[in-house]
Homo-oligomer: A and B are copies of this chain.
Amino acid sequence: MTIADIAAATGVAVSTVSRALSRPSRVSAATRERIQAVARELDYVPHPPARALASGRTGTVALVVSDVTNPFYFGMIRGTQQQLTAAGYAHLLIDTEDSGEREVEMLHTMRRSLDGAILGASRLPARALVALAAEIPLVTVNRNVRGVPSVVIDTPAGIAQAVEHLVSLGHRDIVYVSGPAQSWSNQARWQAMRTALERHSLGAQRVGPFPSGRGSGSAAADAVLNSGATACVAFNDLFALGMLTRLRERGVRVPADLSVVGCDDIFGADFSNPPLTTLTAPIEQAGRMAVSLLVSRLDPRAPQPVRRTVVLPTYLTVRESTGSLTA
């Protein structure tokens, strides 16, 4: 079942069929209807690879994550999935296993079968990112590099709120639980933490870095306890959640003995024990935005100068893992 069959059945040329199907305005209403009717009747379905070969467009966009296992990405996956489907694109999922090289290699290899890609937390150095962007349309999430459109979740601004919250509860020794060193977000958060504490003339200390994953929570909890701090802000909720269970094991009461703040508000943060105070990030929306940015850039008949970088606000969700010290 090819357009040739349809052409034969309709008595027109294949080119006409092709146009009737993909650029309907280029063909008279009568012919168009006739062709479409026949196509429907014969249950014709276009052959994507053939189409891609001829046109260069594949109708596929990849979401690149560093670790599918991380619940943070679940939100992204949802967001991109929704928006891509809405825009008629297929959704490819790539896991780079935290390796920048793999990221480049994968994308490089697949660039011809992709119309574009969304990088959810790239591990790439800026120049490599720019180089990659020259090969294939890119949009980054939580990573801001000149020349590459991006959507960033403004967690740093939220960090200020979190610090405010903790200080107002009487905390003076607040420690940051550091994530992977190469993580852009991690650095941004730590930076924000320092300036926020400085505003209150408080010193900033940190523990870590720890590798991502809930497992890091145990080591992190111990380190925090060791630091003598009375409150901490964790790089992300996964850490915070991990800490919570470790603290419980060690008999440390949260928040009576130690307050814990997470980042992102991932699935589970609301029903943990205790429920986690965290910086709620519009992750899903970020995914949707990223797709919108990409798709509009892909559309040839679009007003090109789209905003290159959009920042999404974050807010503090206070639950039960923070409170005043109970001596």
Contact = CB atoms under 8 A, between A and B. Distances in A.
Interface of A: 45, 47-50, 52-53, 58, 60, 68-69, 71, 74, 77-78, 81-82, 85, 90-95, 108-113, 241, 244-245, 267-268, 270-275
B273 A113 contact: no
A90 B273 CA distance: 38
A53 B49 contact: yes
A206 B274 CA distance: 31
A90 B92 contact: yes
11 contacts: A48-B110, A48-B112, A49-B49, A60-B92, A68-B77, A68-B78, A71-B267, A74-B74, A82-B95, A241-B271, A273-B274
A142 to B, nearest CB: 20
Nearest to A50: B53
Contacts of A91: 92-94
Contacts of A267: 71, 267-268
A8 to B, nearest CB: 20
Given A92-B92, A271-B244, A273-B271, A81 B110 contact: no
A272 B269 CA distance: 9
A270 B275 CA distance: 14
A273 B276 CA distance: 12
Contacts of A60: 92
A90 to B, nearest CB: 6
Contacts of A52: 49
A128 to B, nearest CB: 15
Contacts of A53: 47, 49-50, 53
B271 A245 contact: yes
A77 B93 contact: yes
B111 A45 contact: yes
Contacts of A45: 108-109, 111-112
Given A49-B52, A50-B53, A77-B77, 4 more contacts: A68-B74, A81-B93, A245-B271, A268-B271
